Amino acid sequence: MESYDKVIDQFTQGAVEILGENLVGVYLHGSAVMGCFQPKKSDLDFIVVVKDTVPDEVKKAFLDMVVALNAEGPAKGIEISIVRREVCDPFVYPTPFELHFSAGHLEWWSEAPEDYVQNMKGTDKDLAAHFTVIRARGNCLYGLPIAEVFGEVPQQDYIDSLWYDIEGAAEEIMEATMYLTLNLARVLAYLKEKKVLSKQEGGEWGLGEDDLGKRVPGQYHPLIREALEEYQGGEPDYDLELAKEYATYMLSEIKKLK
């Protein structure tokens, strides 16, 4: 993580310079604050909070800065959302955003930057999960403290956000095996124990036991271990039929609790 401290600092300084008096704060979330950052598997996740709508020319300057830093970041790059303070407290769901960027949007940005600036806005259910992580474990890099900016995310909004991310897991786990194997476990951990966990912590939770026995049936433990190995940089050897069975089982358990 230390190797990306410079990128984090440059991002924060760039946000301060470009957004000026409109900036409320810059907040780091995700694996970078949860002790499980993996350069080959993780991105750098930022939420930027502003007072008012951001003009298109300012968005363009901000994205120029972000894209330049993205090339210096981890393999998955930088992911950011800019939101107005008024949607943070009281929390609005689905949450409106002013601008979003991730490495998956580089082609759109490079081919049609004006179109990107004008159309990359709307609402994002994922922000309920991001705000929950920020409130529980986030890091204020600049500006007002987290408790002054982010109001409580209603539990049902957070659960709906989690479900939105995993509801297609029975089909999608064949392609996104590591991500969904660990994510399903961390969703179940929240529903059972109200724990806000990283993907790695979710996998580790799934391998454990509680007073009722194994949290996740033992036949799925080899799959979880393979996912944890891949997350930590190893080469997995997945049983994809087992993965599909696991996803079906976990979705069933999650539906019972949500």
Distance CA 179, CA 74 (A): 17
Number of domains in the chain: 2
Q: Is 90 exceeded by the pLDDT of residue 212?
A: no
pLDDT digits (tens, 9 = 90+) for 153-167: 999 999 999 999 999
Query: Residue 254's pLDDT is what?
Result: 98
Query: Residue 110's pLDDT is what?
Result: 95
Query: Residue 239's pLDDT is what?
Result: 97
Q: Of the residues 118, 153, 188, which one is the last residue of a structural domain?
A: 153
Average pLDDT over residues 23-36: 95
pLDDT digits (tens, 9 = 90+) for 223-241: 999 999 999 999 999 999 9
Please check whether residue 62 lies inside any domain of the structure: yes
pLDDT digits (tens, 9 = 90+) for 174-185: 999 999 999 999
Structure tokens at 5: 């401290």
Q: In whole angstroms, how large is the CA radius of gyration of the chain? A: 19
> Do residues 104 and 19 both lie within one domain?
yes
Please check whether residue 206 lies inside any domain of the structure: yes
Average pLDDT over residues 41-70: 97
Confidence of residue 2 (pLDDT cuts 50, 70, 90): low
Please check whether residue 30 lies inside any domain of the structure: yes
Enumerate the β-bridge partners of residue 23.
50
Query: Residue 40's pLDDT is what?
Result: 84
**Can you give the CATH number for the domain in which 131 is found?**
3.30.460
> Do residues 171 and 219 both lie within one domain?
yes
* Residue 224 lies in domain: 167-257
Amino acid at 170: A
Query: Residue 28's pLDDT is what?
Result: 98
Q: Of the residues 153, 186, 215, which one is the last residue of a structural domain?
A: 153
SS3 122: strand
Q: Is 70 exceeded by the pLDDT of residue 244?
A: yes
Please check whether residue 161 lies inside any domain of the structure: no
Q: Of the residues 153, 183, 217, which one is the last residue of a structural domain?
A: 153
Distance CA 93, CA 98 (A): 15
Query: Residue 66's pLDDT is what?
Result: 98
CA distances from 51 to 55, 88, 129 (A): 12, 11, 22
Which pTM was predicted? 0.95
Average pLDDT over residues 196-225: 95
Average pLDDT over residues 137-146: 98
